[in-house]
Structure 1
């Protein structure tokens, strides 16, 4: 078996990259997509041949219309397969503080995003799917503790 034959047999995983953006009050920025019935962090799918870091920077420009200096990786979360999707790796990077002048320049692509909001972590937990709420909470904790975490479906792994 050649290396390319072997590579063709390996599992393929979805990858997504998002950013934890905060305001001066410690709230996190969430976006409301038009294509799913729940909110998300700004970010999206990593395209073929694209690094997760490049993807999160691209997605922030496309989704918010503002340039953000994305920092370090806060969370890597393995998500199990579900009937409508394959397993995946979801990454959250530190988007830092978005000051009021940049916040005022947010422009959403109407076909993709309905709205955005600053939310406390408890508010975010009511808008996000449970695994994503756990992921965002872990990302906020990782930022505060100056570390990074590995999760599975939003749960800490010992």
Structure 2
């Protein structure tokens, strides 16, 4: 089994932080794989720091665990929600081409379907699905 983390990171204005990777299309919530010897929360904090210069301003809350069968037949994602602050603007690098905070009613064009579904679930508009 492989395990990853993703996070809905909200700033003080209620905007969600999204990233656009250099190697895959669309806007996504920050996240990545949980490495050997690393906890889910350690991976979460590492990924939001690396992908957005973000630090937790609240305790991360595990929202749901999803089966990501689009990646493989054994991948699972721990999905968290938390409030964050940004220590410095994220400069594009070899992994992240763009990033920023967006109002929920004005997500950027190209926001992935999975990202939109997770935000709808968080808002209580739909029940959580078990598949990413």
TM-score computed with the length of structure 1 as normaliser: 0.67
Unaligned runs of 5+ residues in structure 2 are none
Unaligned runs of 5+ residues in structure 1 are 1-11, 143-148
Against the structure 1 CA distance between its residues 107 and 97, is the aligned structure 2 distance closer, same or farther, given a 3 Å change threshold? Answer: closer
Larger Rg, first or second structure (1 or 2) = 1
Three-state SS of the structure 1 residue aligned to 2:41 is helix
Question: Residues 4-40 of structure 1: CA distance to partner in whole angstroms, max 9, x if unpaired?
Answer: xxxxxxxx2x322122112333221101111101111
Shift of residue 97 of structure 1? Answer: 4.5
CA distance in 2, matches of 1:135, 1:125: 15
The answer to which structure, 1 or 2, has the higher relative contact order (CA under 8 A, 6+ apart) is: 2
Question: Residues 86-123 of structure 1: CA distance to partner in whole angstroms, max 9, x if unpaired?
Answer: 4422122122143xxx36x1334501101112223344
Q: How many residues align?
A: 130
Shift of residue 151 of structure 1? Answer: 2.6
Asked if 2 retains the 8 angstrom alpha-carbon contact of 1:62 and 1:109, the reply is: no
Aligned residue in 2 for 1:78 = 67
Aligned residue in 2 for 1:133 = 116
Question: Residues 54-79 of structure 1: CA distance to partner in whole angstroms, max 9, x if unpaired?
Answer: 10111112222243244221222222
CA distance in 2, matches of 1:75, 1:139: 10
Aligned residue in 1 for 2:79 = 92
Relative to its length, the structure with more strand (as a share) is: 2
Aligned residue in 2 for 1:38 = 26
